[in-house]
Structure 1
Amino acid sequence: MTITRYATPSFPLRIITASIGALALTLATLSTAQAAAEMPPIPEVTGDVVEGDGNDYTIKFSIGTTQSGAQYRGLEYFEDIVEARSDGHIQVELFHSAQLGDDLQAVSALQSGTLEMTAPSTSPLVNMFPQFAVFDLPFLFPTPEVADEVLDGEIGDSMLGIASSNGLVAIGWAENGYRQLTNSQAAVDSPDDLDGLKVRTMQNPIHLDIWRTLGANPTPMSFAELFTALEQGVVDGQENPWITIQSSRFNEVQGYASETNHVYTPFITLVSERFWNKLPESYQQMLVEAAQQMGDYEREVSRSLNDQIKQELIDEGMQITELTPEQVTTFQESLAPVYDNWRDQVGGELIDSIRATSAQ
């Protein structure tokens, strides 16, 4: 039996919601509207209806990113799958833009049982799971294909197992993406160009180490303060994925960007253990399958948007430098001390396993 995407009892409500959303979209910026319109279509739901235990369940699923991004689009697909394959016995409520709290607050709510699901990036979870710091190391994932192989293979499965503790159950991966460098001073294509450049970073010790090692002056600050700081020259540059650079209008105060792809960050899909243990095994397995399908689709959307937005930034006047393989190697060689500093804390065997995957 194959279920179409709309084979769900909540279809009329979804249509009403979609109509309201379409009206609201006319008030959004043109670039955001174009990006949303050009997202890959949500796939049809496939698979049999899953026999449950006769009870009804509600999943509140909270994320920190906005409704216009790839992650929320992935959640819409997850909602379709779960509601259709449970024959309406599981209803999914989506909350974007940190409406129910930031990543750490949402994880805490899962642990206490007041929230059912969230999908944070790995960086905020490093204190809880030190191995996740591997995703903050520079240039460890040279291509999206390597990231996919790591996340969807034995290494990713092992890390899901590590995260399935402390009141959490980890069931899948998606993509936050690669971070890129922007600045207001000059084009950057070598570490020498970073000498003394004031670069805003997250309050993350590995990220601070990266930029100090490259000769820049890393400056941690709240993301909410960043646009004003860039506009006033408090900092010269910042680093974020293309979609964040555009949605935050950093290109209005940053004339230069370098496609460095220096750090790759995934999202991890988490379920409250308290909620998980209430579900019959058939529903647990269905959620795992839905999370994996969501992750595959979300990565497709993320990469499609990434390419579109990069071109839009170029069209709007931003000068984007694409590093050659030789220039990337220069950055990697300059950052070797970062690996020496963090190898023992992150786990040398884990780093070597990922590097071996990259070399295949």
Structure 2
Amino acid sequence: MKTRSTLRTLTLSTLTLGVLAFNSPAAMADWVLKFAHPHPTEDSEHLAAEHFAKQVEERTHGEVKVRIFPNGQLGSDQAMISGVQAGTIDIALSGNPYFSGMVGELGVLDLPFLFDNAGQAHKVLDSTTGRQLLDMFDAKGIKGLAFWEVGFRNLTNSRHAVHTAADIKGLKLRTTPNPAHLKAFTALGANPVPMPFAELFTSLETGTVDGQENPVTLIRSAKLYEVQKYLSLTAHAYTAAPVIMNKAKFDSLPKDYQDIVMDEALKAAAFQRDLNAKNENKDLAFLQEQGMEVVSDPDRDSMRKVVEKPVRDWFVEKYGSQWLDAIEQAKQAAGQ
């Protein structure tokens, strides 16, 4: 039989646990947002996501909390995008090529040799044209927050060094499912194999594919140097990374909190781009130290001649010339 003292102790303990639970960060937050992305925790995308989460929580006084799920924990790129659309995931970050099936016009950003340098790409993505592209998500139940980046794609493989377009012929290369990427590598005589990023390391390790194409920073953070011997700095395409949010969840936030989320997504884009720029040379040196053979000045013109015009012509035939024209105008304005 419990004594009155024992009952009083149990009651106080229960109340104390209730207060502690109520005062936990998750309980105190009015909105807890799940943020999913496919890359390792060492990658700039994850570091930028942490920066974004910290700033949003601070500026909303803890009422909006962001929980990050890196490294494909919530599924492949396509699964995460579908999750945002369905509302099972609140925010996701993925490479632009994975959105081409949803908003085909975004494929303009994936055209080979579209941008001359990162600064030019950033100016275009942050321009009115970039915002118009992000706003096309609205019709899909998604809010486009900002463009972060994957970066300029460089070619790696385990068979031989790539100096010219001819060296690409016959290579079995993992690519994204984006039609522009597939058409470009097919034109170069390669065998492109689209697959999720999460499957890439194992596919390289087992020889399912010979190589892949990604920025230097991601080649390091994903430890692809462990299964790839040759790196050629082709910079054949730039890949943006839209940060998207379930539109119903975004609309449920108070207007001032919507503004904070949008503002911090843009600031995190600048944060992430700066990290990539600072780390690129250091990451390249690291890859060389691990034994990768680097072709620092491949014949990019030989590649451009094969892929630039036919892939652009394909895009214009399918979606019209207005988006490509708008980007060219934005590029010219960025150079002024």
Q: TM bucket by the smaller chain?
A: 0.7 to 0.9
On the 8 A contact 2:43/2:218 being kept in 1, the answer is no
Q: Which residue of 2 aligns with 1:200?
A: 174
Within a 5 Å distance, the mapping from 1:152-191 to structure 2 comes to 152-191=126-165
| 3-state SS of paired residue (2:140) | coil
User: Structure 2 residue aligned with 1:334, among 306, 315, 319?
Assistant: 306
Q: How many angstroms does 1:152 deviate by?
A: 0.6
Q: Give 1:90's aligned amino acid.
A: V
Report if aligned partners of 2:76, 2:198 keep a CA contact under 8 Å in 1. no
Structure 1 pair 328/82, CA: closer, same or farther in 2 (3 Å)?
same
The Cα of 1:307 is off from its aligned counterpart by 2.5
* CA distance in structure 2 between the aligned counterparts of 1:269 and 1:87, rounded to whole angstroms: 23
Question: Alpha carbons of 1:191 and 1:82: their partners in 2 closer, same or farther (altered >3 Å)?
Answer: same
* TM-score, normalisation: structure 2: 0.83
User: Can you list the C-alpha shifts for 1:195-241, whole angstroms capped at 9, x where unaligned?
Assistant: 33333333333222111212223344565655455456554332222
**Contact 1:70–1:302 (8 Å) recurs in 2:** yes
Q: Secondary structure, in 3 states, of the residue corresponding to 1:179?
A: strand
**Match for residue 14 of structure 2?**
none
Alignment of 1:75 with 2:42, yes or no, is no
Question: Counterpart amino acid of 2:323?
Answer: L
* Larger radius of gyration between Structure 1 and Structure 2: 2
Partner of 1:320: 294
Contact 2:157–2:211 (CA under 8 A) maintained in structure 1: yes
Unaligned runs of 5+ in 2: 1-23
Structure 1 or 2: more helix by fraction: 2
Shift of 1:320: 1.1
Q: Distance in 2 between matches of 1:270 and 1:263?
A: 22
The correspondence for 1:66, drawn from 40, 44, 59, is: 40
For the residue of structure 2 that corresponds to 1:164, the secondary structure is: helix
Aligned residues with identical type, % of pairs: 33
Partners of 2:264 and 2:310 in 1: CA distance: 40
- Counterpart of 2:84 in 1: which secondary structure? helix
Task: Give 1:290 deviation, angstroms.
Answer: 1.0
Task: Tell me if the contact between 1:184 and 1:256 (Cα under 8 Å) persists in the aligned partners.
Answer: yes
State which of 49, 60, 75 in structure 2 corresponds to 1:86: 60
- Confirm or deny: 8 A CA contact 2:80 2:89 kept in the other structure: yes
**Matched residue, 2:7:** none
Cα separation, 1, equivalents of 2:193 and 2:86: 34
Return the offset for 1:68: 1.4
Matches within 5 A, 1:92-107: 92-107=66-81
Q: Figure out how many residues of one structure are paired with residues of the other and give that number.
A: 307
Q: Distance in 2 between matches of 1:67 and 1:230?
A: 21
State the Cα deviation string for residues 40-84 of structure 1 (Å, max 9, x = none).
xxxxxxxxxxxxxx9822222221222111111111111121111
TM-score of the pair, normalised by structure 1: 0.77
**Which residue, out of 86, 106, 110, partners 2:84?**
110
Tell me how far apart the structure 1 counterparts of residues 252 and 36 of structure 2 sit (CA, whole Å). 19
